[in-house]
């Protein structure tokens, strides 16, 4: 079974290099967000302050490289390189699902990173948390000396995956038992988190979510590409654009819970997308696919270019809106176009 898990993680790294993992029909709706240009910014670029705080840690820029991988030597290199870049630029970083470590502790070096990003997250699926319990999650945090753990929700992917989980009961309870004992961020993996779920998580004590909305890497699509049976292939094709667009998730989550810390991932592909997510109410923008693609295509140098390019564009967007910081960017009130407005209205009902 574990060889399977190792092989699956390895296949994932190859498959996400293919264009089809971002289905054309999926749209995060960032195109419906228009930041308002300010012809008289009355700011120097040096005045723009991107620094922020997430889960009690100071970040130099409101960005997170979200959890992706681990378990193989190739994955270990990705984790080490991307964590080093996160440290260099002062942004948050998460390793991928550590499920495999629960039974194969010898794979720890593929998750353990020497660098110290300002915020480092371990990662485990909510269903594994249900099955293995709070202590297992706490141990994963200790093993890599992380600042906390991201608990991921991925029901759509599991349903498409042959042999994947079919029972998703008990997750909120399991999360509520973990929250008093660790810094927890609950994240989707590309299908979005709706307002009632944000409210439920808040009531369970969760204070940070990554809405990881639809429009970016589609895990039903990745599993469709791996599937061996027509049933899985069919369900994967059908669900490949399933979910709530990222932009709609962010606005709706912010309206539901003014105090929840919100990471917006799911097709953040540039500093401009990140600026839009922050203008909509996110505290931090997260991205995964662009970083792993850059790393696999051109190593650390290309990944560094991607991350630094994103930070530079983010800063440019702040300046062009006349915004010295995130509070001012939000106050610059972006124009929202259809169909995003209808999504927000529908989610608020
Ligand atoms: C190669 C790859 C592997 C991933 N593995 C995990 C994982 O193990 N745990 C997790 O929480 N999310 C995982 N994700 C999801 C991302 O953290 C992120 O939520 C999602 O891909 C949306 O961001 P993106 O559109 O920038 O890729 C993975 C994403 C990619 C691209």
pTM: 0.96
CATH number for 290: 3.20.20.70
Query: How many structural domains are present in the chain?
Result: 1
Q: How far is 75 from 194, CA to CA, in rounded Å? A: 31
Q: How far apart are CA 282 and CA 248, in angstroms?
A: 11
Closest ligand 1 atom to Cα of 287: 26
Centre of ligand 1 to C-alpha 179, Å, is: 22
3-state secondary structure of 39: coil
Please compute, for residue 113, the number of CA atoms within 13 A of its CA located in the half-sphere on the CB side. 30
Closest-CA residue, ligand 1 atom 18, reads 189
- pLDDT-wise least confident of 8-12, 67-71, 141-145: 8-12
Give the model's pLDDT for residue 1: 41
Q: What pLDDT digit, counting tens, does each position of 127-139 carry?
A: 999 999 999 999 9
Query: Which percentage of the chain shows pLDDT scores above 90?
Result: 91
φ, ψ at 96 (rounded to 5°): -80, 180
Work out the angle at residue 25's Cα, subtended by the Cα atoms of residues 186 and 165, and round it to the nearest 5 degrees: 40
Mutate to test the pocket of ligand 1, among 26, 68, 265 (most ligand atoms within 8 A of CB): 68
How many whole angstroms from 36 Cα to the centroid of ligand 1? 31
Nearest to 150 by CA among 264, 66, 266, 59: 66
Instruction: Give the residue-averaged pLDDT of 38-59.
Output: 98
Q: Which residues form ligand 1's pocket by a CB distance below 6 Å?
A: 12-13, 16, 66-69, 96-97, 123, 150, 152, 187, 189-190, 212, 216-217, 265-268, 287-289, 292
Find the range with the poorest average confidence among 58-62, 147-151, 161-165: 161-165
Q: HSE-up of 107 (CA within 13 Å, CB side)? A: 24
Identify the domain containing residue 278 by its residue range. Answer: 2-348
């Amino acid at each position: 079974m574990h060889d399977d898990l190792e092989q699956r993680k390895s296949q994932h790294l190859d498959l996400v290099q293919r264009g089809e993992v971002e289905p054309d029909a999926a749209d995060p709706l960032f195109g419906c967000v228009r930041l308002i240009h300010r012809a008289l910014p009355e700011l120097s670029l040096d005045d723009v302050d991107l620094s922020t705080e997430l889960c009690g840690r100071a970040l130099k820029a409101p960005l997170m490289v979200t959890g992706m991988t681990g378990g193989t030597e190739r994955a270990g290199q990705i984790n080490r390189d991307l964590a080093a870049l996160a440290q260099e630029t002062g942004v948050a970083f998460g390793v991928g699902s550590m499920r495999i470590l629960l039974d194969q502790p010898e794979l720890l070096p593929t998750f353990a990173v020497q660098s110290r990003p300002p915020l480092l997250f371990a990662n485990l699926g909510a269903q594994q948390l249900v099955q293995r319990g709070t202590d297992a999650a706490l141990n994963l945090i200790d093993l890599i000396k992380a600042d906390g753990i991201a608990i991921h929700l991925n029901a759509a992917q599991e349903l498409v995956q042959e042999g994947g989980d079919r029972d998703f009961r008990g997750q909120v309870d399991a999360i509520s038992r973990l929250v008093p004992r660790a810094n927890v961020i609950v994240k989707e993996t590309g299908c979005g988190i709706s307002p009632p779920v944000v409210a439920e998580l808040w009531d369970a004590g969760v204070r940070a979510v990554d809405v990881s909305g639809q429009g970016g890497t589609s895990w039903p699509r990745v599993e469709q590409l791996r599937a061996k049976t027509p049933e899985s292939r069919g369900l994967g094709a059908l669900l490949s654009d399933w979910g709530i667009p990222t932009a709609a998730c962010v606005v709706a989550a912010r309206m539901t819970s003014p105090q929840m810390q919100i990471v917006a991932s799911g097709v953040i592909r540039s500093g401009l997308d990140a600026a839009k997510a922050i203008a909509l109410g996110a505290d931090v923008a997260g991205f995964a696919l662009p970083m792993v693609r850059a790393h696999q295509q051109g190593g650390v140098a290309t990944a560094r270019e991607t991350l630094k390019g994103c930070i530079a564009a983010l800063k440019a967007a702040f300046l062009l809106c006349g915004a010295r910081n995130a509070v001012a960017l939000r106050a610059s009130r972006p124009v929202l176009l259809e169909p995003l407005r209808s999504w927000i209205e529908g989610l608020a009902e």
